[in-house]
Amino acid sequence: MLRRSFLFTPLAFAQDPPPIKVEVNLVNVPFTVRDARGQWITNLNASDFEVLEDGIPQKISFFSKASDSPLSIAVVADISGSQEEFLKDHRRDLRDFLKTVMTKRDQAMLVCFGNSIRLVSNFNQQADDLDEALKDYQKAKNVSQYPKLGPPELRSGGTAFYDAIVRSAGQLVGQQGRRAVILFSDGEDNASASNMLEAIEAAQEAGVTIFTMRYTEIKKGVWTARNKYGRSVMTRLAAESGGLDFDAGESSDLRDAFRQIADMLRSTYDLAYSSNQGERDGSFRKIKIRAKQPGLTLRHKTGYYAKA
């Protein structure tokens, strides 16, 4: 009887290639462009810009226009004691804002804060639903039914303004398209675990643009030192993230401000580049986008913290 033996070696089987690890140090930067007359420019391409990080040219890896992507918005409303007289204004202005800005493919969420930060409405595509959610929250005798955002913090009272920004920016991470925070407050904080720089950092890291709507309680028409501090904070938050700031007290009708925000959001470009500046070491890296065409003004975040 003839016996046949077969020798099986590892080469007889298909081998899966070893995994390839690729590290991409991708930096996302939304920005807007205006001409000398202040008109939004929306018809440019990646080849029309150059990007620098700490003065070093970077190669653009991704580029898109706002018309190609939806909006994800976090509306963040201050309901602390200093805002009590403005609560009706918040509801009216929120309704006007959402109806001005949102289209059918956009989504918005609602966060309210005093000494705690609560998710009042998760992402929703209906402006009327968010309006009703804010109305219900303002009337609620017990807000414990609304989930808190962030880790438990022991607070004795006050306003967690910076923590609200940090938590809201965190909710926008991973959302599609253009990401923005619309902030209704006076900018005054006395209960946060975070500080202003951490709030700015959270927005920059998440690629979030902050638009601030300032409602300040002024006693006898005189700005206090605390009022002035809140105003400077809200102005800086908007500037560092590439957004705009407005004062509700300077206008009886904010619809023009809302139109400006809507126009800016609809005119935004998004680009990304893979930083060639080595490993992330936690340092702040300045970003500069320049248009090759003269006479254009660009607005974008000032930079980012290169966290490991």
Evaluated on CA atoms 97, 131, 168, 114, the torsion sign reads: positive
Question: What pLDDT score was predicted for residue 40?
Answer: 93
* Percent helix, percent strand, percent coil in the chain, to nearest 5: 35, 30, 40
Would you give per-residue pLDDT tens digits along the chain (308 residues)? 434 444 433 434 444 444 444 445 689 899 999 999 999 999 999 999 999 999 999 999 999 887 777 899 999 999 998 888 888 888 888 888 888 888 888 999 999 999 999 999 999 888 888 888 988 988 888 888 999 999 988 887 889 999 999 999 999 998 878 899 999 999 999 999 999 999 999 999 898 999 999 999 887 778 999 999 999 999 999 999 999 999 988 876 788 888 888 888 889 999 999 999 888 888 999 999 999 999 999 999 999 988 87
Domain range list for the chain: 26-64+268-305, 68-266
d(CA 143, CA 78): 14
CB neighbour class for 20 (10 Å; exposed up to 12, middle 13-18, buried from 19): exposed
Q: Determine the residue type at 302.
A: T
Question: What pLDDT score was predicted for residue 21?
Answer: 41
Q: Determine the residue type at 200.
A: I
For 63, 107, 171, 231, 300, the CA distances from 271, given in Å and listed in that order, are: 4, 22, 21, 30, 11
Between strands 71-78 and 284-291, the pairing is: unpaired
Between strands 71-78 and 245-247, the pairing is: unpaired
For 14, 58, 92, 278, the CA distances from 99, given in Å and listed in that order, are: 58, 38, 11, 44
Helical spans, DSSP H, in the chain: 87-101, 127-139, 161-172, 196-206, 225-241, 255-266
What CATH number belongs to 68-266? 3.40.50.410
For 31, the token pair is 């920005």
Judge whether 185 and 86 are in contact, CB under 8 Å.
no
d(CA 134, CA 144): 15
For 100, 222, 244, 257, the CA distances from 250, given in Å and listed in that order, are: 20, 14, 15, 11
Question: What pLDDT score was predicted for residue 252?
Answer: 67
Nearest CA to 62 among 272, 218, 295? Answer: 272
At 246 the three-state DSSP class reads strand
Judge whether 271 and 32 are in contact, CB under 8 Å.
no
